[in-house]
Every structure is written in structure tokens, then in C-alpha cells.
Structure 1
């Protein structure tokens, strides 16, 4: 695909020249080295002689699987002038299992100048392979390219073969390369360079922002060992800071790094305290990210009514580490940030170092002291790129973030051929947006993460071309753009300083402060609402619901702040932007957190299982409560029977000491009948929040056992005494029926009367 046609900017090459293949020009290596030394001081390494090759093996992962690719880039980032030869590097990568036989490299110049951003992007990333342009030179490769390897060939295109003269206007030009074998095209690649004819340039102001954040973790504070690794000479934080310190780059710092170093007191790794000292001395603009770089949009779209922030670090402080003042190289603590600096072409220092914000006179630091820093601005928010919804902006503004950094996908413009300024008004109550230039940012990020010289030159050539197009769009009109480096710094990224140096050397570029970028607004851009992925939002909702559960549960604790503060820090770390590129790992981390927090919510429980026999009309049922926490809890015990056989009195409140169990007695009254009853025992916090799920205790009720026993006992008593009375009556009756002989001891009993003497008188 070709760009817009502007014939005056580039006359077509003569047909005879375009069609014939030119012989390869071979220059002496020493002569070419001298030429390149003067023409290309910014090249990453010495350039071999024309036509020479640099073979270096690469891993299979660096080459597309089962493919052959070819790329082209200028050796020098300086613009090409009339009469100068064009020095190019052609990189051939063989990702197949077979060697590539020697073939032919054809170099082309785009037919038309690249006069718009859309034309430039279409040239570099065409939807389909089109005409590559006018042939400038053909050159045969001298050796096969082995499997899983790369070969870099340096080619010199003579000035007359380039075909550009002083009559061509300055700006970005497209170049293309094809690798052919016996007429068959194996691969095609495209690149750019900048042509300059001594016109008056209008530099493009570019504000650059670099986020400095630690890799993803789930602890809320960076562990000591990790800090030591991150701040080592080759650590990720060291490489990030080294690349931007004292350069015209605004630093977006994660406060978690500062706090994690300060909270360790005298036990902080020396490399970490030295790193913090260097940050203190930096002359860069510095503004804070959210703690742990928690995604602002993810918070609001998951249901947070306000932006989340740490509540306390007291639970993480060991007072013995602050017995004497420790020089942690931090600025004087202040609750308010300094005002943003006035717009200028150079960065504004973030403040001179003063006394540390840590312990004073041996005292442990407060939460405010741990978070304090002399920022140049504190009202800038940087949510996840391309995921900001319209409803998020008022919440950002209400949380003190009146300026939001947005990606280009969150904005649209009326004229796509003219690049607007970065600042845009977002509407009443929504603040201001700083829309980053996505193509420029992507090219800078690619350059900084490049692992080879040729890949770096290719990316930086695009950076120069992007800025050249913007500069030439509206001559005499100054524009201010925003470019950002990305989060999640790869371990292999080692070209940050080299990239920034090359950017600063471009004559059509001028460094700008973040304050200056915020001051230049445009009306040609409108906000485009975007949302986070549905799965990511759903998991975040579960995290926020769980935090609400933990906060409600904590009202039962004697000292709730250590529990809620630690959980908040872990939540913020799980919402970090660094997890966005690792959805699988983040899902696992969220699941682990939900399991751990469930154990916290179940740390106070009912251990009584039953069954329990109730044999009386009024009894006290023992219920044992367990507390596995490291502090005492106060709970209210509510018992509800499943039916009317038992009546339960009012709730019972009890305090359970740390790591212990306690039995409470719940009074119950038997009502009607015998049978089984299930008691539902529920624990509540003093504020009325239910703790865990209710426990069910089976009860066997024998409500009439006491009355029946009394009746049996009474009957036994009655029978016992009745039997005694009955025996006494019988005895007395016998005594009355027997004659009394106790008055005449000599008397004898009369003989029994005979029937034949009845009625006769005895003898006198």
C-alpha cells in the first residue's frame, strides 16, 4: 500500500533506472568505516563494509516458527541529505528447519512521500503486500542462511540510485526489501528513513513518562529478598531508574516501592536504600501511581465507589528496627505535594533531599510518613490502557485525580491526518485527559526492549519517521505529544538509555515537561468510552465483596485495623496493572486469596457437634466456641430451635481469648412433648454481622422425664407408708381378738363346752 500522492515531493525515478538491476558497489572497508563514523555516530555498533555479512545464531523463539522474514533499517538515525549515500542493514531470519540458499536482495523506495500518520502506518503494516516502490538496488547474498539463525547484511545505496534531490520536501520516506530465490519472493520487509533538504523545521514537543513499578506479587509489601534482587546492579528497578534518571522523562513511581523499603528500617537491604537515595536526588518530574499500581478503572468498574488506598502499615512495622534513626534517603514527610512546576523545556527537580521521613528520635514511622514524598504532582491517574469508561472519570476526579493518562484507543479525532496536542478536556466533573500517542509510544517501547542492534535501529527509524510526519503536517505549528513506556519491564530490556539518547538527538524533536503537556489542550479530540474485559471485572468484584466481608467480620476483633489493613494491601496488589498481561496467573492468585480470606472469616466457629440429651424442663446447653486468631474476639451467640419442643432465651454475648476455646451456656426450656430438636447456632459480631455459616446441633428432648420420676417417687412413698399403716391395723385387730389373762395369773382356762350339756346348770 502506498501513501498519499504528492508528486512535487518526490519525482519518479527514470524508468530505465527503475527497471534495470544495478551492479553491486563494493567499497573498501576502511573507507566505509570512516564515512559511517562521521555520518552515523548514533549507530549502535560499528558497521561492516558494504556487502559484508554478520552471521550470528539466534534462538528458535526469536524467529517466527517455520517462516522466513526480512527487515530493513537505516544504519544512521540522522536524516539523509542530497548527495549522500543511503546505508541500510538487511536482516534475514530463517525460522525453518532448512537452510536458505543464496538469493537476491532487492531494495525499493516508496513511490510517494509518507505525509500522514495513516500513510506511514499503512506503509509499515500493510493489510496486503502491494507494489514495494521503485527499485534502487539489487544485491546477491553470498552464503546460505542456516536454520534457526539470522544474517545481517549491510548495503550501500548510492545517492544517484536513491533518486532524491533538493527539490524533494523533507519528511519520512518508505523503503522496502524483498528476498528472492530464482525469481520467487521468499519474504518482504519494510522500513523508513527521514529525508531532509535544509528546510526550516518545527520541532515536535514530546513529554515522556516512565512508570517504575515492581513485578506482580500478592503480599501487599515487597519482600526483603525481592527488594534486594530488584535493586541489585542488574535488577529491574535499577535498570528502570538508571535509564531515565536526570533525563527529560517524568517518573511515575509506585508508592509501594518506597514504603516497602522504609518499613524495613535498619534491616532494609543496602542496595534498596541506595536506590531510594538515587531517586531522592533525581531531577525528574515525579508523580505517584496508585499504591501497588492498582488499576483505577478495574476498581471503579468492579463497583468501588471511591478509589482504594492503604489504611495502615502498623501491622508490618517491627519497632525494634527503628531504635535509632536510619538514613533511608527519603525527603521530609509532608501531607501535601508541591505545586506542579511551570512549563519549561527542562525537567523540574522533585525536591532536594532532607531528613528521612522514617523514625524520628528512634520512633517508628507513621503511615503518613511512609507514604510521604515531595512529588511534583499528585493529581495524575494512570489506569490500564484502553480500559477507561466514561463513568470512571468522575470517580477519578472525586478521588483527587483531575488528570487521567489515556491511550489512543480511548480517544477519537475529527481529522485523522493532523496530530493534535495531547491534552483534552473530558467534560464537567471529569477533569483533563492526556492522550498518549500510541504509534510513537509503541515504537519507543519496541526500541527500548530490543535485543539486537538491527531491531533497535528499525524501531528508532520508525520513531524518527513518526515525529517527522507530525512536524511536517502543519509547518510552523508547535504540537506537544505524550509518549509512555510500558509497565511490566521485561528482563531483557537494556536499551532504555540508548533509546532516550537517540530520541534527544533528533533535530525535529524537543523534550517537554509533563506540566507543559497538561497546559496545551485541543478541541479536536473526543473521549471514547472503553471497559475492562468481563472476566477481569468479575474477579475484581469478588475481591471487593470479600473485602467488605472482612471489614464486617473485623468488628468482632479487639483490634480490627491490623487485619483490615493487611487485607487492603493484598487487595491492592491483586488489582495491579502488572497482572493484566497474565490472566491465567492472576486468576489463580485471586482464587488463592479468596480461599485464604475464607479461612479468616471462619476463624471463629462453633465446635459443639451433639447430639445433646435434654432431660429436664429447664437446662443450660453448653456450646463451645473456638478462636484461631491471634487476638481476642467478642461474639453474640444466637440459638434458634427447629420446632416448639424447646424454648430458648435471649442471645448470649461472649469474649473468646486469642488462640483458645470457650464454652457458653445457653438456657433452654422444654415445652410440649418429647422428640428431636435441631438448634441452629449462629455467631454475630457486636455490630450484627453474621460470622460464617450457622452450626446445627441435634437435641434429644425428654420433657416429661422429671414429672414421671416425681410421680413414681411419690407413689413409692405412699405405698411404703400405706403398707406400714395397713400392717399396724392388722396387728391391732389381732390384739383385740385375743383374751386378756394378764389380771389372774392362777386362773385356768375353762374346758370347752359340750353339746350334750348345753343349757344345763353346772353343779354347785
Structure 2
């Protein structure tokens, strides 16, 4: 409902200077009803200098084709008092291919004050066309708006034309602007300002939380080059931290940033070390997000029984980066390098020395840091969880609480209340086992985010005018009743630290606003609300389910490894990075990144395999079949080899356990026994971890069994021996037989008679007769 606080005391508006009367305004309102649905407020991309009255032109391509948009915002964020002129900027963006002829700018004031949040939101974003209000003034344009360009004009409405007096209650007021040409309305926009009549105010306590996160990464640690870019003077991390440091803003930090800098030791970019030092000296409240800002609700809705966390960083530490450097004294004059103090709760060296080297962050003595030291920080609180906004289910809350997250930051979409016109405190009781919720004030937060991310002054003023109006409505809802709200900046990156700081400073300058700490917001009186469960998109939950299932497989596979943490810890960090909230706005890129991770982890699970292909001939009743195992990992693995034949022709003994060295292959001998007959057999070779987890798919090796070849070979050999010796005996028999038949050819030495040669003395040797 839109109603003035004191409707009877609202004076009639005076006649506008242009001479138009109310019947003309009513007719124009009727014309607007036909075209209002197609128009909306739009921020401009430039603004004239303060006090300028002429148009300022700036070229832009941000407006969609074939559209004309107009926006209005007060020049000053200060409340308007009685007797003061209302000065506004009107921004016209021409997204068409044709110039817009000079027309008439008409400014309207909403008929009644915006006394509720719903009235304010309906005014700024109406669902259907409606009357823009009472005409305050009209002003003719002096120049056309060229195609694909923007015109910004400053329009002043005299106090008498505004028509508000001290008799009107303070609060948010609506203004509307139209662009007409020969009676045809080309575009309409709406805005707000705050009217104040010196009433007693009850400031609204607002706690602001800023997440500091890095752009999406597919790796568990932010690379050195990326850190150098992110922490450069214009980097995303620098813009975030510089915009909120030492301001009344609670910082929600992604621990991955801290670890990624610390783990680089002496090789960390100087800009990153300076950034971490600045964070350590900040006076802000600081609490940690989940590692890599992994979406808490996505994990639980993907089937995780508990939230996953980093297990170790040892696999990524280079000990040489943490050795104490040798000081090199500079000749003239000595340069002083101050060691940034470690923000870890573990004592770290802090000294000033005249050397050309800087002591890297790490434990005393130059030893490499432990996982606990890398993660340690002097946090204000560690029991706050911040899942993806608007996607928390009731079943998620007990799981959050089980890991110590007793307070959950929730979107306004996750709760409902019976009285929608009264804004409750941010703290809500969620019921037994669900802990406490801190409900974000969505309209206020959205306006703050729009302001912090705006790239032009007029767009920033339009958003900040809404911020002031939102708080004014809350303050005036129940005068004298203090409310504590929570506003959050989103997981994005402002265009500049100056814009973010400008937004927070402008918020702090509102007299109906009071800064509150996050601790105070948590301690505020809780409100009974109805929790509205929400879920992640089905495709997003399914991809996360696949990631978590694959991690379970990797952990089971790691029982075969000599150093399992080197694999499981790195994979855990990758999974956490892929579950980061920063991927939520990029579903296509996230799908590709998850697919790449699943392919890489699948290769990991197949890194130990059977390379023997076959076929293999088995020619005996008992033989050892060689099976070659390959290990492509950088560490040794121990596996259990199980061989199962496809039929009964072969019998296989018990499983064989074998250790394969890193980046090598090993052949194991599987004893088999031929059982019945010859034929084909397929051996199914399956690898298991010592704990019994299957490694990859079984390998099939074809075998040709010829079990009777062993006996046949023995027979043939025996026959050959018999034939050989038999032939020798038969040959001797034949020779002896020939010798008996022909004695003259005998060669037996025992039967040989010596024959002497004839000589003259032969007669002498003969006996006498």
C-alpha cells in the first residue's frame, strides 16, 4: 500500500512553470499507461560537473538495440528539507539506430509517501503500468539524442513545485521522469529521494559483510602469476581489500588466498606479501569462508555426509623456498627491508635488516610451514557459514552445524514472515539442530551491490538513492524501535577500490543509519520466521555429485600408493576449487572445468594397468604365465593381482601381490595348471589395492592350452633315443655278420697275422726239412 504518513496535510502541488494544468497531467498519465510496461530506469555512464545545467553527451554501447531508456536520480544523497529545490539528473540512453528528436522531460512526484518496503519496491519496479504521480515540472530538450549514445541533463525543481512542507512526514518519496515527443511517451524511469522535516529519527543498525575471493580457478592453489595480477595496484584482490580495510565492514576471506601466498615462501610476489600484510593489520572483523569458497549447500545437496576440507598441503611445498636466505649487505646506502609479520597464530620472524633479501613468511628457523600453519589466522569468528545465496535446504543446516558452523548467512529468499510490512532483525532462530541464521536484507544489499559495481556517477547515485530510501522506510516503519540488519556485498569485484569505498562512506554518512558489527548483528534479538527450503539447480547438483563420487574413488585407489596424501590431498583441493561459488554465474565454463577434472582423475585411476595382451600358448600341465604391470605414477604402488580363467581348462592359484616402482613396469608370474583337454581360455586379470579396492577394469588375456604336448614330446624324445641306439646296435650286427662270411676282410685285431715282406734272407728263416 502506498500512503502518505499524514495524507490530509499534504498540500496540493502548484501549477508547473510550463503552464500545464492537472487535466493535462491526467491525460498524459493515461497515455503513459499504454507504454509504461516497456520502459524501465537505466543508469547512465557519465555525469556533468557539479552545478552544470546543460546536457553532457557520452557514447555508449551498453543499451540494447531498438530501445530508449531514461533514468532519474537526485544529485545529492542528503535528504531534501522544506524550502530546498530538488535537483536531479536525467539520463537518456538511445539504443536505436536513429536519433531521438528533442522532446520534453516531465518530472513527477509520487502521490503518496513510500511507507513500506513493498511499496518502495513496487514503485521502483512496477509489475504493470501505473500513474507516475503529480507533475512537478517540464523542461524542453535542446538537442537530439544521437544513436547509440547517452544524454545526461540536470533538472532543478523549485521547492514550491515539489509541494512538500514541514507538515509532511519524513521518509522515502518516489519520483518519475518521462520523455515525450508531440504527446507520445518515448520512455519512463523511476527513482527515489528522502524527505526530512527534522523529526526524531531512530537509526537503523546495519552490519555489512564483504567477501574477498579470487576469480574462479580449476586448481587448488592460485598460481604465482595470477596472484601477482590479483594483488597488483588495480587487481581484483587489491580493489576489494582497499575498498573495505579499516571501514566498519566484516571481511569474509577465502583461506585459499592466504595459503596460496604463504606456500610460495621466498618466491611469493612482493605485491602479494604486501597485500597479506595489509590484511593482517586491518581492524575489520574477519571470518573464514570455506576453502576456495566452496559452496556449502552444493556439497550437501550433492550427497556429502559432511563438508569437505583440505587435508594437506605438503605435496605442494618446496622446502627450498623456506630456507633462511644469506644476507647480502648493500654497499651504499643500505636498503631497509621490513619483514611483514605473519598473520598466522604461530609465531613468525619479524625483523628489520639491511639486506637485499626478504625473509619469506614461514615458521621460525626457515622450516617449511605445516598445513595448520598455512591455514592459521587470527579470525574474529570461525563458526559462520556462508553458502550460495537462495539455495539452502532444511537438511543442509544440521550438516553445517556438525562441522561447527552454528551460524548460517541466508538469503531473504530462504525465510518468510507473516508481517511483510515490518522488517525484523537479521538474526533468526532456525530450530533445534539448525543453529542461528543471519538473514540478508536482499533489497538493501542489492542496491549496495549495484552502487559498488556501477561504472558511472549517475548510476551510482541512482543506486545509493535507493539505499537511502530503503533504510528510511525501515527507520520510519516503527519509530523508536531499533532494528539491526545485515547487508552483504556479493562475490564479485568492484570496478575500482574508490567506488567501493565511496559506496561505504556514503552509507555511513546517512543520518538514519548506524554502523553495526557482525558480532552485534549475531547478538541481536532473534526473530521467529518460517524457513523456506531452496535447492541448487539439478544440473549443478548432478555435476557436484559426480565430483564427490570421483573423489571417493581416488581415496580408495590411494591405498595402493606409497604416499597416498600426495594424490588425495591435491585432488581434494581441486574438488574444492571446482565447487567454488565463483563458478555459479558461469555454468558453461564450470561444466567444461568439471569435465576436464573427471577426465584427468579417470587417467589417474588407470595409471596402474595390465599391459600384456596375448595370446599366450600354454604347452605344459604346469607353467608360469608372465603378466606385465605398468605404473605411470611418480611413486611406487602395491597391487594384488587376481587371475580368473573363463573355463576349467586351466586352474589358477591364489592371488599374487606385487610392488611396482615409480614410472616403471614389472612382470609377475602367475602359476597355472592344465586341467582337462586342450582349447581356448580367457584369463580375466584384475588389479586390487591391498585394501581390496578395484583398480580400473579387468584385462582379458587369451590363452591357447595344449596340455598333451608335454607327454607327446616325451614319447617322441624317447623314441628318438631308442632309434638312435637301436640303429647303432643293428649296424654292429651287420658288420660282424659280414666279417664271418668273408674272413679276409676281417679287421679284428685279435685275428690279424703279421705278414713280413720278402727278402734274401727268407730261406734262412724257414725251418729245415
Which TM-score tier does this pair reach, normalised by the shorter chain?
A: 0.7 to 0.9
Alignment of 1:586-605 (within 5 A): 586-605=590-609
Query: Shift of the alpha carbon at 1:632?
Result: 0.7
| Contact 1:9/1:168 (8 A) holds in 2 | no
For 2:427, which of 423, 439, 460 is the aligned residue? 423
Over 3 Å counting, the alpha-carbon distance change for 1:9 and 1:305 in structure 2 is: farther
Task: Tell me what 1:675 maps to.
Answer: 679
Residue correspondence of structure 1 range 237-248 to structure 2 within 5 A: 237-248=237-248
Give the drift of 1:414: 1.0
Instruction: Trace 1:567-586 onto structure 2 (pairs within 5 A).
Output: 567-586=571-590
Give the Cα–Cα distance (whole angstroms) in 2 for the partners of residues 692 and 494 of structure 1. Answer: 55
Residues 720 and 230 of structure 1: CA distance in aligned 2, closer, same or farther (over 3 Å): closer
**Structure 1 CA distance for aligned equivalents of residues 240 and 384 of structure 2:** 20
Alignment-derived partner of residue 228 in structure 1:
228
Paired position in structure 1 for 2:3: 4
Determine if contact 1:409/1:528 at 8 Å carries over to the other structure.
Answer: yes
Paired with 1:18 and 1:115, the residues of 2 have a C-alpha distance of 29
**Superimposed CA distance per residue, residues 56-112 of structure 1 (whole angstroms, 9 cap, x where no aligned partner):** 112x1x213210000000000000011111001100000111110000000000001
Equivalent residue runs for 1:208-227 within 5 Å:
208-227=208-227
**Count of aligned residue pairs for this structure pair:** 696
Residue number in structure 2 paired with 1:329: 341
1:32 corresponding residue in structure 2:
none
Q: Whole-Å Cα distance in 1 between the matches of residues 379 and 725 of structure 2?
A: 100
> Is contact 1:550-1:597 (8 Å) kept?
yes
Is the CA contact 1:357–1:372 (under 8 Å) kept in the aligned structure 2?
Answer: no
d(CA) in 1 for partners of 2:85, 2:494: 37
Tell me what 2:55 maps to: 53
Task: Describe the SS at the equivalent of 2:569.
Answer: helix
Out of 383, 403, 408, the residue aligned to residue 404 of structure 1 is 408
Superposed CA deviations along residues 578-632 of structure 1, whole A, max 9, x for unmatched, are 0000000000000000011111111111111111111111111111111111111
Q: Is the 8 A contact 1:69 1:94 kept in 2?
A: yes
SS in 2 for 1:521: coil
* Counterpart position of 1:176: 176
- Give the match's secondary structure for 1:361: helix
Hey, what's the Cα distance between the residues in 1 that align with 2:218 and 2:108? 52
Checking the alignment, whether the CA contact within 8 Å between 1:331 and 1:356 is kept in structure 2 is no
What CA distance in whole angstroms lies between the structure 2 residues aligned with 1:432 and 1:334? 31
Match in the other structure for 1:510: 514
The answer to whether the 8 A contact 2:266-2:360 is kept is no
Tell me the TM-score normalised to structure 1 length. 0.88
Which 5+ residue runs of structure 1 have no aligned equivalent?
23-42, 336-354, 739-764
Return the match for 1:369 from 345, 363, 373: 373
1:728 is displaced (CA, Å) by 8.8
- TM-score normalized by the length of structure 2: 0.87
CA root-mean-square deviation: 2.4
1:528 aligns with 2:532: yes
TM superposition shift of 1:332: 4.2
3-state SS in 2 of match to 1:709: helix
Match of 2:489 among 471, 482, 485: 485
Corresponding position of 2:310: 310
Distance 1:707 1:701, change over 3 A: same
Map 1:423-442 → 2, pairs under 5 A: 423-442=427-446
Shift of 1:527: 1.2
| Residue in 1 that maps onto 2:669 | 665
Deviation at 1:357, TM superposition (A): 6.7
Cα distance per residue 1:158-208 (max 9 Å; x no partner): 001000011100000000000001100000000000000100000000000
Shift in CA distance, 53/10, structure 1 to aligned 2, threshold 3 Å: farther
**Residues of 1 paired with 2:112 and 2:95: CA distance?**
33
Cα distance change of structure 1 residues 700 and 136 upon mapping to structure 2, 3 Å threshold: same
Deviations 1:200-257 (A, max 9, x none): 0000000000000110001110111111100001011001000000000000000001
Q: Deviations over 1:650-695 (max 9, x none)?
A: 1111111111111111111111111111111111111111111111
Deviation readout 1:282-340 (Å, 9 max, x if unpaired): 000000000000000011111111111111111111111111289443224259xxxxx
Per-residue deviation at 1:734? 11
Taking the aligned partners of 2:9 and 2:679, their CA distance within structure 1 comes to 102
Corresponding residue for residue 762 of structure 1: none
Q: d(CA) in 1 for partners of 2:495 and 2:197?
A: 41
CA distance in 2, matches of 1:262, 1:230: 15
Give the direction of change, closer, same or farther, for the CA distance of 1:14–1:490 in structure 2 (3 Å limit). closer
Partner of 1:77: 77
